[in-house]
């Protein structure tokens, strides 16, 4: 039987989502907790991979459980409760629920959304939650440039170099800046994202927002398909995986 886990985490103390040989990750931490509680090794598959320091307001992972007794609805609630008590304070389990056996957190996701937060002023209470960027920014110009992203689908220029992806094609459905709670927030939704893509896009938009480059520069960057032509990547601690959408036959 297959189960989905809906969770959130604050990424400061983790070297990203995916298990690594010599670093603490979110995946490894949850697997160890689940294996201890269920008393046998449990592996989980995440909906995606976040980098070091990146946070998730919503993440999904799945695991298979073939115990003869199965897992009842009551014990799922109990498992969620125990898992939250067992895990560190920066990882929270929202729910665990049964799904069709062929359901897959990564491959069945319809789209994913990210938010990047920029603090406009130094704030000691948000230094781990948002990137402090003190320079004046032309938000209108950044929004104009962000809209150009929707007219392309090849984003090799924003992909981390030397990755093993087969394609750089992504369908971006939303890309815009908003101002909330004394922060600038970049919202972006797509069917898939390349490694480091959002942070590279934000860094490129900041170049335009400072009037170092014109809005039309976005066209030039994308057409080059060259990562070195785009802006620098912004720090990971301002980035949040905010939402993952699945077909209704998996999640109502």
Could you list the active site residues?
A: 51
Q: What is the 3-state secondary structure (H, E, C) of 160-214?
A: CCCCCCCCCECCEEEEEEEEECCEEEEEEEECCCCCCHHHHHHHHHHHHHCCCCC
**Which class for 2: exposed (0-12), middle (13-18), buried (19 or more C-beta within 10 A)?**
middle
Q: Tokens standing for 129?
A: 């939650």
List C-alpha distances in Å: 181 to 77, 116, 188, 199, 252.
Answer: 35, 14, 19, 21, 31
Q: Is 8 helix (H, G, I), strand (E, B) or coil?
A: strand
d(CA 192, CA 245): 11
Tokens 């939650």 locate to 129
Query: Phi, psi (5° rounding) for residue 196?
Result: 75, 5
d(CA 229, CA 206): 14
Is residue 49 within 8 Å of 18, Cβ to Cβ? yes
**Which residues partner with 112 through β-bridges?**
190, 244
């Amino acid at each position: 039987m297959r189960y989905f886990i809906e969770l959130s985490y604050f990424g400061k103390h983790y070297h990203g989502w995916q298990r690594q040989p010599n670093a603490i990750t979110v995946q490894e931490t949850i697997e160890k907790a689940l294996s201890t509680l269920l008393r046998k090794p449990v592996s989980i598959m995440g909906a995606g991979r976040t980098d070091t320091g990146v946070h998730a307001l919503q993440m999904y992972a799945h695991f298979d459980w073939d115990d003869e007794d199965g897992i009842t609805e009551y014990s799922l609630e109990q498992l969620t409760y125990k898992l939250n008590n067992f895990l560190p304070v920066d990882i929270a389990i929202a729910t665990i629920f049964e799904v069709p056996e062929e359901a897959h957190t990564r491959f069945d996701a319809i789209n994913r959304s990210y938010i990047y937060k920029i603090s406009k002023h130094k704030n000691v209470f948000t230094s781990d939650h948002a990137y402090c960027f003190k320079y004046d920014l032309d938000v209108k110009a950044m929004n104009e440039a962000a809209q150009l992203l929707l007219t392309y689908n090849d984003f090799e220029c924003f992909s981390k170099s030397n990755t093993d992806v087969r394609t750089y094609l992504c369908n971006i459905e939303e890309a815009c800046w908003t101002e909330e709670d004394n922060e600038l927030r970049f919202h972006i939704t797509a069917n898939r994202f390349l490694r480091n893509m959002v942070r590279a896009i934000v860094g490129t938009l900041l170049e335009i927002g400072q009037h170092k480059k014109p809005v039309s520069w976005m066209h030039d960057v994308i057409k080059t398909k060259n990562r070195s032509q785009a802006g620098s990547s912004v720090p990971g601690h301002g980035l949040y995986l905010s939402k993952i959408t699945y077909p209704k036959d998996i999640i109502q």
